[in-house]
Every structure is written in C-alpha cells, then in structure tokens.
Chain A
Amino acid sequence: MEILVCVKRVPDTAENEFTINADGSDIDRDDLVYSVNEWDNYAVEEAIQIVDRVGGKVTVVAVGDEDSEEVLRREMAMGANDGLLLADPAFADSDGRGIATILKGAVEKGTYDLILTGAQSDSGAGQVGGMLAAMLDIPYASLVDSIEVVDDQSLKIGREIEGGNREMNSIQLPCLLSIQTGINEPRYVGIRGIRKVASVEIPVLGSAELGIGGAAVGSAGARVKRLDYFVPVLGAGAEMLEGSTEEIVDKLIELLKAKGGLK
C-alpha cells in the first residue's frame, strides 16, 4: 500500500507559555519549542504499521519553510521511507483551503492508496484532511482510531464519537483518513535514528512544480483570515492560593473539607 502522511511543524502546546507580540498580530515565536503535531505522529506510526503488515511505502509531506525539514526527518527516523517538502513564499498565510490545495498538487504527482492526516493541529480546526479528500473526490473519515486492511479495495475503520463510543465503517480505497490520538503507541525516536536519515535528500516543491496558480493559495486565496491573537477571558477566574507549600496545603484541606471533598 502506498501511503502519504501529511505532517505539520507546530509550537508544542505542552512545552510553551504563549505570549503575544506588541501589536497582537502574532505570538512571540523566538523562544518557542517546536515539534511535530501530536496527532500527526500517530498517523505516521499507523502508516508504518500498515506497511509492516501488508507491504508498501510511507511518504511524509509537509507544507512549510525549510524548518519543516526537521519534522520530516524525525518522521523518517520513525520509519517513513520518503519525505517531501512543499515550500514557496507564495504559500504564506494560506487558510485551510489553501493548504489543502497545495497538498492536492503533491498528491497528484504520485499514486497513493491511502492518505493520512492528524485529526487536528495547533489551530484546532481539523479541516485540511476533509477538504483535501473532497478536492480529490475520495472517501473521507475523521477521528479514526482503528484501521484494518480488508483487501486491496477497502478498509474497516473505527471512528471515535461522543461518550467513548465508536462508529465502525467500511471505506473504499483510495481514501483519506484523519487520525485521532491513542490509535497506537508512536515509537520513540532517538538521536541515533535522526542521524541515520540526516543526509537523505528531501525534494522541495514550489508552486511552479505543483502547478498551483497564485490566486488559489497564500493570503490572496484565503477566505478566512486571522486578524489578531488575544488572551481569552473565559470565566470569572479562580481565587489563587498563595504562600508556602505548607500554607497552601492547609488552606486547600480546609476548603476541601468545607465543600465535602474529604471523606
């Protein structure tokens, strides 16, 4: 099975405290810790496991600048065979539709039986997979948490739905699936593994190679535009307990007792 997995380099939400720049137009990016989008890691692991079972090849693709090469190499160190970087100044400020349009260009340069994306990334939209599938006119399912290869025509997949329930579907190949966390346990990649793929060449394709016209992508093609960042005021805010650890613990125990939180 020929599998393409779309991956993204994102600021790590668990590792960073986000601050906004002076005019509110962006976050301060200087000291951010970046990593591969959490969901994408599960998608790459799943692709590798499928190829281990039924044969084939895994290609990882990223839309981004040269910094994204680092996440492609990381995923290749996991076991993806090939990497592909889609980079062009004209791609900057694309909305979800623009990113899907760029990826479509890359998909059409190959022959893939299965395309995987993460269920969502740092912007929390979860849109690129579904858009790309619709552009390619292939079946789509989101939030996939199990994949069983039935034959070379179809898969049996599980989708996560509300309340811990799961929805089982049969889906025809070629298709596109967005992968939910927990579908597998992504393997660990050490420095050694990354060194091994350090010199593997990763082709870079721009809008000319992908046959993408300027009006379809970038800020010119975006129907949805981010205007600013701000810190949300969502609730009344907690009463913060301060002091030494001992004082905090005492105060907390007192509060818990009063509210029935200690038996």
Chain B
Amino acid sequence: MARIFAYITHKGGVADDTALELAAAAAQIADGTAVTAVVTGSGAELEAVCAAVAAAYPEVWKVESPALAYPNAEVVRKALVQLLPAGSVLLLPHDTFGMDLGPGLAIKMDAAFVADVVAVAAVEGTTLKLIRQEFSGQLSTHVSCDIAAGAVLNIRPGVCKPMADGAAAGQIVDKSGELGDLSAGRQFLEVVAAEVGDVDITKSDVLLSVGRGIEDEENIEMAVELAEAMGADLACSRPIVDAKWLEKSRQVGTSGLTVKPKVYLAMGISGSFQHLGGVKGSPFMVAVNKNPKAPIFQFADVGIVADILELMPELTKKIKSA
C-alpha cells in the first residue's frame, strides 16, 4: 500500500475542521497503515497547528518557509511535488484551496485525481470505489479510481465524521530542509474581506431564503412582502447574488455567510452542498420546490411541492389576515 498523506489547511494558528475529517477518510483507505499529516506554513502559527494535529495523526510533516506563509496553491504544489514520495496518496479538502491545488498537483505527481468525494464505498487492492455527485447534487455516482501510481483525492468538507483526536501523540518531523526552489508565476497580494450589508443574516432567528426558482427580478418583491409578514429576514442562494437581484451580504453558503437560524424557509432552492454548507445549527427547515426530486427535500424537515410564485402570495395573505 502506498503512503497516505492528508494536507492540513489552517488559519490564525488553528487547524481547519477538515483536519480531523481527512484523518477519518484516510483511515478508511489506509486499512491500518499509518497516515501522515502535512502542514505547510511559517512561524508560530505553523508550530501551533503541528502540535494540535499531532493529537490525531501518528506522524506530522512540518514544512516551513516564508514563501508558504500564505497558502498560495501554486507554491504549495511545488513544495508537495518536492516532498511526497512517488506513488503517494494525498487527501485534500474540496474547498476553494483544494479546488485550486488538487487537479494540477495530480498532473505533476502523475497521479489519479478525484474531485469532491462524498464517501469511500470500498477499497479493493489498489482500486478505490468512491461516491461523488453530479448535476448539482441531483444524482450520485460510484467511480473507480486506480491509485497504483498515486492519487490526489479531494474530500468534500463536512461529510466524514471527524476522527476523535487525542490519542495519537504523533511525532513531528521537520521536512523544511528538503524544500527546493518555490518560485511561482502567481503571487499572493492580499485578502479583501467581505462587504458588510445592512442586515446581518448571521444573527437572524427566522430566514426566508430564495433561490433561482424566483425566476425574475421583479418577483423578489413577493419574497420581501412575505418576509415582512413573517417577521423574517430575507436571504438567498448564490445565483440571486450573481444576477445582482440581492446584495452579497444576503447570500447563504460556503462562499457567502454561515447562518444559524431557528427556522429556515427555502423557496426555489435546489439544495446544493455549497448552499447548505452555510446553514448550521440544525434549524427547522421548510423547503418549497416544484421539482419533487430536488435534493433539498432530503435535508428539510418539511417539504412542499409547489410553485413558489403561487404559494408565496397566498402565504403572505393568510399570515396578514390572521
């Protein structure tokens, strides 16, 4: 069996939640062989993350360089190509960093690549059977992946139950000395923080959230009226922001805001993982969608198959008259 590695993303000296999720996924593939965590970065933050991660991984590779202070995927890729032995299997989180790094790294390692893995179904010799999703989560597929020559596997955040940490007392191995040239054609400049909007939907108890099912900009008014009648704040999925029908500060999801309401009413939202990834705290979720097969019905507590353009005005009227 090839050596198995998990790349640990971190911020402000704290390892991402995916650190323990990847440990769990790797354990499934590793079948008893030890899994090594790889942490790149610099300074005290790197030290802190390595120490924390050693509680879950038997071995931690510390990779330090000023060039790695910010995780620029092009630079990290060079470092990993220099350090990982031929034929390695590397697990990455399928987030905006893993999406940036994984595909190109797989080419440079001459390894197989599987994006956005939601489950490991079986391990048969050097063939993995993995579960993915297509068509915006409407259908799942089993894929087989031959890892004999190595593999890069991007694991969807939040799908693997995190490994319980604390037991490993892992050894930290400093690999920084093995690094070569890390120059790249892409330089990180700065992070620009998200704009703050007039309503803070992260603090709302009740959210009425609209998706592409709203169909037209002029129908937004219908949702505004319903939200008002309910005493809810208005939120939305990404396509509504892309179309500039509502401001970015109302977008729920991985590339928007993480909300923790008590009640979440999803109107014409299909239920992609990027959207639902921003809904935390297990709210009471109601989904209204005209497609009975919409994935959102699998996550919601209550579902209604209906046209939101008909249902919303009815609901507004009834609430107002009560």
A residues at B contact (CB < 8 Å): 11, 13-14, 16-18, 20, 27, 96-97, 100, 119, 122-131, 133-135, 138-143, 156, 158-172, 175, 181-182, 185, 223-235, 237-241, 245-246, 248-250, 252-253, 255-256, 259-263
Within 8 A of A (CB), among B177-222: 184-195, 205-206, 212
Q: Are B265 and A261 in contact (CB under 8 A)?
A: yes
Cβ contacts under 8 Å, A142 to chain B: 73, 96, 99-100
Cβ contacts under 8 Å, B265 to chain A: 256, 261
Cβ contacts under 8 Å, B99 to chain A: 119, 126, 130, 142-143
Q: How large is the interface on B (under 10, 10 to 19, 20 to 34, 35 or more residues)?
A: 35 or more
- B interface secondary structure, majority: mixed
Measured CB to CB, the closest approach of chain A to B80, in angstroms, equals: 12
Q: Are A168 and B190 in contact (CB under 8 A)?
A: yes
Measured CB to CB, the closest approach of chain B to A173, in angstroms, equals: 9
- Name the residue of chain A whose CB is nearest to the CB of B107: A134
Contact (A245, B104) CB under 8 Å given A168-B189, A181-B242, A253-B322: no
A167 to B310, CA, bound (A): 41
Q: Are A171 and B231 in contact (CB under 8 A)?
A: no
Q: Are B212 and A14 in contact (CB under 8 A)?
A: yes
Q: Are A139 and B74 in contact (CB under 8 A)?
A: yes
- Can you list 29 A-B pairs, Cβ within 8 angstroms, ordered by A? A13-B135, A18-B135, A27-B139, A96-B115, A97-B113, A122-B135, A123-B134, A124-B135, A126-B99, A134-B105, A134-B107, A159-B96, A163-B254, A164-B249, A166-B194, A170-B187, A224-B113, A224-B146, A227-B142, A228-B141, A229-B134, A230-B142, A231-B139, A238-B301, A239-B303, A245-B311, A250-B318, A260-B206, A261-B284
Taking a contact as CB atoms closer than 8 A, the residue among B132, B186, B314 that contacts A249 in the complex is: B314
Cβ contacts under 8 Å, B255 to chain A: 160-164
Cβ contacts under 8 Å, B191 to chain A: 161, 165-168
Chain B positions 284 through 310: 1 when the CB is less than 8 Å from some CB of chain A, otherwise 0: 111100010101011111111110001
Q: Are A260 and B104 in contact (CB under 8 A)?
A: no
Cβ contacts under 8 Å, A181 to chain B: 238-239, 242
B162 within 8 A of A: no
Sorted nearest first, the 7 A-B pairs with minimum C-beta distance are A263-B231, A130-B103, A164-B194, A139-B185, A238-B303, A261-B263, A134-B104
Q: Are A13 and B103 in contact (CB under 8 A)?
A: no
Cβ contacts under 8 Å, A129 to chain B: 103
Q: Are A240 and B185 in contact (CB under 8 A)?
A: no
Cβ contacts under 8 Å, A128 to chain B: 103
A109 to B30, CA, bound (A): 43
Q: Are A164 and B256 in contact (CB under 8 A)?
A: yes
Q: Are B74 and A232 in contact (CB under 8 A)?
A: no
Taking a contact as CB atoms closer than 8 A, the residue among B186, B291, B300, B311 that contacts A238 in the complex is: B300
Q: Are A140 and B104 in contact (CB under 8 A)?
A: yes
Q: Are A17 and B291 in contact (CB under 8 A)?
A: yes
A234 to B294, CA, bound (A): 12
Cβ contacts under 8 Å, A17 to chain B: 291, 293
Measured CB to CB, the closest approach of chain A to B188, in angstroms, equals: 6
Cβ contacts under 8 Å, B298 to chain A: 232-235, 237-238
Cβ contacts under 8 Å, A231 to chain B: 139-140, 293
B116 within 8 A of A: yes
Q: Are B96 and A134 in contact (CB under 8 A)?
A: no
Measured CB to CB, the closest approach of chain B to A125, in angstroms, equals: 4
Cβ contacts under 8 Å, A232 to chain B: 133, 137, 139-140, 295, 298
Within 8 A of A (CB), among B148-164: 149
Q: Are A229 and B141 in contact (CB under 8 A)?
A: yes
